[in-house]
């Protein structure tokens, strides 16, 4: 159950917005269409997703990423989140969102972030789509749960989840995910794409 805003809570909400705007500014639009009763919960949830996405995207040292993910696991799964002093966790608790997120789902979310840090590049579009679908379905599930919907048909949303997962990952990370076989087909290297080099081959890749 959500509790009224105090000055401290207002500061925590501001922190959540600042966190989201670092990685997912388009959320400003979708937040306007959420029901008022769910708005604060969804804000806290997306701030959490944003903070975790930064770990999976911005940290190149796997040991540092692992340390940060272990911190989230320790403070939100192993220990009571009520005792955590992080602004995002405080908002998750205050709004009642945290109590609606099963520990297994929270752990699965951390595992997906770790997989982005500690995995090889996707070899093909099938592999990329599979990961995007997992991300999309889990995010749909978390949003549904914090809004009070405990079950929904994952098969019915799998295609949309794959697209949502890809757009979420791409927009949050500010990058495009390209399967390795697509690079090979156009005779390109990862450095050429990551360096945003302009060439007919790069142009054709992104038109594809």
**pLDDT band, residue 11 (cuts 50/70/90):** very high
Of 71 and 35, the one with more pLDDT: 71
pTM value is: 0.74
Q: What is the CB-side half-sphere exposure of residue 90 using CA atoms within 13 A?
A: 15
Q: Is the pLDDT of residue 129 over 90?
A: no
Q: What is the average per-residue pLDDT within 42-68?
A: 92
Residue spans of alpha helices (H) in the chain: 7-23, 27-31, 36-58, 62-73, 87-95, 103-117, 125-146, 158-173, 180-185, 190-194, 200-207
Residue 130, token pair as written in the block: 């599979």
- Which 3-state string (H, E, C) describes 60-110? CCHHHHHHHHHHHHHHHHHCCHHHCCCHHHHHHHHHCCHHHCCHHHHHHHH
């Amino acid at each position: 159950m959500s509790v009224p805003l105090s000055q401290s809570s207002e500061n925590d909400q501001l922190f959540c917005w600042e966190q989201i705007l670092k990685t997912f500014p388009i959320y400003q639009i979708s937040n306007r269409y959420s029901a008022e009763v769910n708005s604060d919960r969804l804000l806290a949830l997306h701030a959490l997703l944003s903070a975790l996405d930064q770990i999976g995207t911005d940290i190149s040292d796997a040991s540092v990423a692992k340390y940060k993910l272990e911190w989230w696991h320790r403070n939100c799964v192993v220990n009571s989140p009520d005792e955590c002093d992080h602004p995002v966790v405080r908002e998750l608790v205050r709004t009642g969102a945290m109590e609606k997120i099963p520990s297994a789902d929270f752990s699965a979310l951390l595992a997906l972030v770790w997989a982005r840090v500690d995995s090889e590049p996707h070899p093909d579009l099938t592999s990329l789509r599979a990961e995007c679908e997992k991300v999309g379905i889990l995010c749909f599930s978390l949003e549904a749960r914090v809004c009070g919907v405990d079950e929904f048909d994952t098969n019915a949303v799998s295609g949309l989840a794959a697209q949502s997962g890809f757009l979420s990952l791409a927009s949050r990370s500010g990058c495009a995910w390209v399967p390795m076989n697509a690079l090979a087909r156009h005779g390109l290297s990862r450095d050429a794409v990551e360096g945003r080099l302009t060439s007919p081959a790069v142009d054709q890749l992104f038109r594809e």
